Amino acid sequence: MAIRTFELERIQSLYENTVDYNLTESGFHPFSLAELLRPEQLEEMQQLTLGYGQTNGSIPLRRSIATTLYKGLDEDNIMVTNGSSEANFLAMHTLLQKGDEVVIMNPNYMQIWGAVEEMGCIPRAFNLRSEHNWAPDMDELRSLVTANTKMIVICNPNNPTGYVLTEAEMNEMVEIARSVDAWIYADEVYRGAELNYVETPSFQHIYDKVVVSAGLSKAYALPGIRIGWLAGPRTEIYNTWSYHDYTSISTGIVSQFVAEIALSDEVRPTILKRNRDMLNKNVEILSKWIAEHGDLFKFIPPEAGGMAFMKYNIDINSTELSTWLRKQESVFIVPGDCYGMDGHIRIGVGERSTYLIEGLTKMSRAIKEKFNL
């Protein structure tokens, strides 16, 4: 079976470097090495021997991930991957088999849907509801989970809505999974990017059949070093190594060096504060911009993450709107079609504020002129 085109990643790859204002980014404006590293660390990096290293991640890096971010885990509970996308791919192929039913939170980063579909699994969606400020429909989740359900897939904080599950919702999801002995697979790549500066609890702490994926691309503003990971039970994490040997084999020595520094007690709080400050400022900018447009947009402010997901009140398909803005104004936004939700758009709010304002201004002027608003 041919795998479906991953539309969100494909359109971003095609066009994000061809426009003046790329408002499709879902993370934060990236750090430079000079911003992140002290001079002596830059010098130390120059002395690195560029071998393979430990292919599942260096012991110091895996230990740092385990002890910094999770309770009761050690380096043997961690697999380091080339971004969280590889982590997702490895986990699906390790934990699932053809014919398994997989219940997936929707909307969501759609990579896992395509991957399990290609494997011959049966994906089913349970929805976050805009009429409830993007809270999950727990009755729908219960109705979809059966004795054949092998995994419940969750994205928390959520891409693209920015919704953060409550403790009660997390516990109820665990209870539902436990009732059929299903895995919970939690994409937690936006953990650490909360507007209220309170770190979202990990599912890793509340259920034994949990595998978590995360990485440094979103909340840490380091997408270019391509460091992700899986955290979970030792046996399953070890088994993902078999697929890792067939995909990328290892992450880069330089990337692992930078990742250790980013997760250190000295640097990690600085990174997260910088990005949360940026997010709060830009959500306020976007909220004021939306208010200036009357009922043209319906917006539920995100609680976390680097993006805003909104409904628009214009008679045009979301892909057509995105394409027109890109060609006409060199402003690029994500169409809701990428999530199966036409009538919505996603705008990145993790950029520099001046850049965001300039992009929004061009977008506003073009929409008003085209639609006589």
Q: What is the pLDDT of residues 17-26, one digit of tens each?
A: 999 999 999 9
**pLDDT confidence of 2, banded at 50, 70, 90?**
confident
Q: Check whether residue 27 and residue 70 sit in a common domain.
A: no
**Residue 100 confidence (pLDDT) above 60:** yes
Q: Check whether residue 262 and residue 286 sit in a common domain.
A: no
Identify the pLDDT of residue 370: 86
Number of structural domains (the chain) is 2
Q: Check whether residue 112 and residue 135 sit in a common domain.
A: yes
pTM: 0.96
Q: What is the pLDDT of residues 341-365, one digit of tens each?
A: 999 999 999 999 999 999 999 999 9
Q: Check whether residue 125 and residue 213 sit in a common domain.
A: yes
Helix axes 83-95, 234-244, angle to 10 degrees: 110
Rounded to the nearest integer, the mean pLDDT of the chain is 96
Burial 137-159 (b: 16+ CB within 10 A, else e): beebbeebbeeebbbbbbbbbbb
284: burial class by Cβ within 10 Å (0-12, 13-18, 19+)? Answer: middle
Average pLDDT in the 44-52 region?
A: 95
Average pLDDT in the 264-276 region?
A: 98
Average pLDDT in the 206-227 region?
A: 97
| Domain stop point among 228, 243, 266 | 266
Average pLDDT in the 234-243 region?
A: 98
Q: Check whether residue 104 and residue 199 sit in a common domain.
A: yes
Identify the pLDDT of residue 20: 97
Among 4-8, 19-23, 229-233, 234-238, the minimum mean pLDDT is found in 4-8
Which residues neighbour 169 within 8 Å (Cβ) at sequence distance 6 or greater? 135, 136, 138
Q: Check whether residue 250 and residue 277 sit in a common domain.
A: no
**Residue 185 confidence (pLDDT) above 90:** yes
| 293: CATH | 3.90.1150.10
Range of the domain at 362: 7-32+269-367
Q: Check whether residue 356 and residue 334 sit in a common domain.
A: yes
Q: What is the pLDDT of residues 312-335, one digit of tens each?
A: 999 999 999 999 999 999 999 999
Average pLDDT in the 86-112 region?
A: 97
Q: Check whether residue 187 and residue 103 sit in a common domain.
A: yes
**Residue 1 confidence (pLDDT) above 60:** no
Q: Check whether residue 260 and residue 142 sit in a common domain.
A: yes
Flag whether 118 is in a domain.
yes
Q: What is the pLDDT of residues 271-301, one digit of tens each?
A: 999 999 999 999 999 999 999 999 999 999 9
**pLDDT confidence of 95, banded at 50, 70, 90?**
very high
Flag whether 149 is in a domain.
yes
Q: Check whether residue 203 and residue 174 sit in a common domain.
A: yes
List of long-range contacts for 278-283, beta carbons under 8 Å, 24+ apart: 278/28, 278/29, 278/350, 278/352, 278/353, 279/28, 279/193, 279/195, 279/304, 279/305, 279/306, 279/349, 279/350, 280/195, 281/353, 282/349, 282/350, 282/351, 282/353, 282/356, 283/195, 283/308, 283/349
Flag whether 284 is in a domain.
yes
* Measured CA angle at 276 (ends 223, 311), to 5 deg: 85
Identify the pLDDT of residue 227: 98
Flag whether 12 is in a domain.
yes
| Domain stop point among 266, 290, 321 | 266
Flag whether 64 is in a domain.
yes
Q: Check whether residue 288 and residue 230 sit in a common domain.
A: no
| 74: CATH | 3.40.640.10
Flag whether 372 is in a domain.
no
Flag whether 2 is in a domain.
no
Q: Check whether residue 258 and residue 125 sit in a common domain.
A: yes
| Domain stop point among 249, 266, 283 | 266
Q: What percent of the chain has pLDDT over 70?
A: 100
Flag whether 42 is in a domain.
no
CB 281 within 8 A of CB 357: no
**Residue 373 confidence (pLDDT) above 80:** no
Which residues neighbour 22 within 8 Å (Cβ) at sequence distance 6 or greater? 16, 332, 348
